[in-house]
Amino acid sequence: MPDARLDPIDRKILSELQADGRMTNVELAKRVGISAPPCLRRVRTLEEQGLIRGYHAEVNARDLGFEVQVFVMVGLESQAQVELAAFEERCRDWPLVRECHMLNGEVDFILKCVAPDLSSFQAFLTDELLTTRNVASVKTSLVIRAAKDEPGVPFEVMEDRLSRTA
């Protein structure tokens, strides 16, 4: 169930900022139907609560020369907590790894990697990932194209659930 601290205005603020984090506070206030000072207070509260973790620009990786995107499935020899944490820490140090998710199932982690070209990714794979302690298996899938890449959460689903429970 969605966080009870959030009223409809907070949820609308989050939805609007997720869609466009660069809008001014005045524009945001207008879109959510409140004046600018309370809007700014609400945004700061949402930031303090950790519901807004930051703001960033969505860059075009391919246009910036990162032609290769790969999903990497990693199996570890040991799933002891200390080993899982060590692998996660190692992933944070690799610039080509943009996302690291621990999974339940056949593989322990899935990594989303970007690289300028296949030889750069291969060097990372053979020199870094495959030589990492506790890595037992690695399977890779090269991305051909993305059909959908939406950040954040679907606020419309939350609103629909809330309207059915009210």
Does residue 100 lie in a domain region?
yes
- CATH number, domain of 41, equals 1.10.10.10
Domain span holding position 49: 1-57
Biggest CA pair distance of the chain: 56
Does residue 3 lie in a domain region?
yes
Q: For the chain, how many structural domains are there in total? A: 2
Listed residue (16, 77, 78) closest to 43, CA to CA: 16
Distances (CA, A) of 21 to 15, 39, 131: 10, 14, 40
Listed residue (44, 26, 34, 27) closest to 8, CA to CA: 34
pLDDT at 3: 54
Listed residue (23, 29, 58) closest to 42, CA to CA: 29
**Per-residue pLDDT in tens (0 to 9) along the chain, 166 residues:** 455 579 999 999 999 999 999 999 999 999 999 999 999 999 999 999 999 999 999 999 999 999 999 999 999 999 999 999 999 999 999 999 999 999 999 999 999 999 999 999 999 999 999 999 999 999 999 999 999 998 889 988 888 888 887 6
Residue with tokens 């690695």: 138
pLDDT at 4: 55
pTM: 0.86
